[in-house]
Amino acid sequence: MFRLAGTARVLSLLLTCGFLFQHFTLAQLPPVREAAVNSIESRRQELIQLSNQIWKLAETSLLEVESSRLLAAYAEKQGFKVERGLADLPTSFVASYGQGSPVIAVIGEFDALPGLSQKISTQKEPLEAGKAGHGCGHNLFGTASLGAAIAVKDLIAAGKLKGTIRFYGTPAEEAYEGKVYMLRAGLFRDVDLCLGWHPRDQTKADTQSSKALVSLRVEFRGLSAHASRDPWDGKSALDGLELFTHGVNMLREHVKPSVRMHYVIRKGGEAPNVVPDEAMVELWIRDSTMEGVQLVLEKVKKIATGAGLMADVEAKLTVFSGVYNMLPSQTGAAMLFDTMKSLGPITYTEEEQTFARGIQKSAGVPEIGINGRLQPLETPIPDPPGASSDLGDVSWNVPTLHISVTTAPEGVPWHSWPVVACGGMSIGHKGMLFASKTLALGMVQLFEDAKLREKVRAEFAETMKGRTYKPYILDGPPPNVTLPH
């Protein structure tokens, strides 16, 4: 015991020396902000361990039981009040500390993606074949955000900041839009401002929107019959489905370039000698705005009806979820840009650069290594390319500030094995700690500066003029987790 305690003391002394050295470049930071950075540095090893545990668990949407438990337990140990299993989502939780206003929230995700299990290697090599992996870096996402919340909590506890800090453990981002359920349950109602980040192959303060999305399924029902003996008695649900997808593919020529449509066939019959009586396709429609998505959706509904008529089968279209385009706070982005600048670029060792180039080589993209430099602040464009997130819905309800931080080398495909590999080693950890510090420092400024908060809220009020929000989820709890993802 004594030896251990002694070792811990030596370690903490060494760590302190490390901080002093690291903080040499941060000497210009005022003491409160320096304290926030110190909070994160003092938990560096714990945060890395936490993210590694979640990386190894690699639990998919709504099955992220252990990952959620680990983060919630850590928050509780740090003195947060934790409420679990909110909004019909067993793996959701909200950790809260402090009281009164302002109420500032930071978002954390922790779900993995199926089939992406990967070792820390520059080659595609599953850790466990067929298992899931953190191909979107959410092990880093949740941990960094919680680290930032804890740093702010330390300052509230020390009487240096006033108000409430909340960490939102938001499950099932990849498959079920967990945040939309949490919004519908009113869990964000009293939040003044919200912050988030996402792992990426670049470091930037986000000014661009994301795509709005609706997910729908079309179920076709016909009549089964022997495909050779009495096919005239059958009505093929698969014919209906094929006519539908053909119609969707013809529609591609007549939609705006900002539209994306992608589908998978979930059900298409069991055997060639049986006329399929059931078929199902799942289609996602995206555009820069929800209005754009709606326009395409109306056409897709007609295609489904037409396909059903042609194959003489029933066609039932159900929109089962959707997310809004992100409305990022420009005022917040400018503040977070300056914050990231003050932290300096993320730097990498030669060993990490070699790893990054190895990954790029295997992924077949230019071997330019990894770049942790801060990208210039971009002017928002109307139709940015990119993906969608349920954070978009949050941004329609609460002013949302967002950054992206490098956790994988430039050019590698996302939702893929290179992202998993980097997220379990020092490249990912560096991005995670940088994100954590940026979010903590950003929140400190927002807690301290009422005028800044007001400016962010005023911009939000202006953006929301003429816009109304209605969630695109079905009534009741989210879909059964046993459905294929």
Give contact residues for Zn ion (rule: CB under 5 A).
136
Toward Zn ion, which CB reaches closer, 136 or 398?
Answer: 136
Nearer to Zn ion, 161 or 194 (CB): 194
Q: How far is the CB of 114 from Zn ion (least distance, A)?
A: 14
Opening angle at CA 448, ends 439 and 29, nearest 5: 65
Alpha-carbon gap, residue 316 to 322, rounded angstroms: 18
Q: How far is the CB of 136 from Zn ion (least distance, A)?
A: 3
Cβ proximity to Zn ion: between 116 and 279 the closer is 116
Q: How many of the other CB atoms lie within 10 Å of CB of 249?
A: 12
Minimum Å distance from CB 109 to Zn ion? Answer: 6
Dihedral (CA of 425, 426, 431, 437) sign: positive
Which residue from 333, 447, 443 is spatially nearest to 395, judged by alpha carbons?
A: 333
In this complex, which beta carbon is closest to Zn ion, that of residue 37 or of residue 136? Answer: 136
Q: Would you say 235 and 302 are in contact if contact means Cβ atoms under 8 Å apart? A: no
Give the bridge partners for 280, in sequence order.
219, 267
What distance in Å separates the CA atoms of residue 161 and residue 155, rounded to the nearest whole number? 6
Comparing CA positions, the residue from 332, 348, 345 lying closest to residue 434 is 345
Contacting residues for 164 by C-beta, under 8 A, at least 6 apart? 96, 97, 98, 99, 100, 101, 102, 103, 104
The residue number whose beta carbon is nearest to Zn ion equals 136
The residue (of 39 and 436) whose beta carbon lies closer to Zn ion is: 436
Q: How far is the CB of 375 from Zn ion (least distance, A)?
A: 19
Query: Shortest distance, CB of residue 198 to Zn ion, whole angstroms?
Result: 6
Q: Which is nearer to Zn ion, 139 or 438 (CB)?
A: 139
- Helix ranges (DSSP H) in 424-477: 426-448, 450-463
Q: Which is nearer to Zn ion, 306 or 386 (CB)?
A: 386
Least distance from Zn ion to the Cβ atom of residue 481, Å: 19
The number of residues in the chain equals: 485
Hey, how many other C-beta atoms are within 10 angstroms of the C-beta on 469?
12
To Zn ion, the closest distance from the beta carbon of 387 in angstroms equals: 8
